[in-house]
Amino acid sequence: MRRRRRLGSTDGFYRFESLKSKNVVYGSGYGDFIRLRDEFGNVWRGSAERQSDDTVHYRFRDSNGKTISGIQDSWGVILRDEKGNVWRGFVD
């Protein structure tokens, strides 16, 4: 029997890259809690909330109060920071 990973799974490894600056944020998550680290050593803590339409909404905040949020759908994960920069990535 073939096992298929459900869309919107929040467990695993995360990697996001800013389309503008090419900065990378990466880390892991289990359940609704996610912990990421950027290339400057800042830690981003966040959560994943599954929606009724099988998308997942992500919210991350660092210790300086900066935020990144967005959704995961069938095409992948897309986030925006508070300055409007777009971050694309995946959950593996």
pLDDT confidence band for 3 (50 / 70 / 90): very low
Residues 12-62: pLDDT tens digits? Answer: 999 999 999 999 999 999 877 999 999 999 999 999 998 888 889 999 999
Q: What does the pLDDT read at residue 2? A: 40
pLDDT confidence band for 9 (50 / 70 / 90): low
How many beta carbons lie within 10 A of that of residue 59, not counting itself?
A: 15
Element spanning 2, H or E:
none
39, 32 in Cβ contact below 8 A? Answer: no
Write down the pTM of the prediction: 0.81
Q: What does the pLDDT read at residue 53? A: 87
Q: Tell me the C-alpha to C-alpha distance, in Å, between residue 7 and each of 21, 33, 41, 79, 90.
A: 28, 17, 30, 17, 12
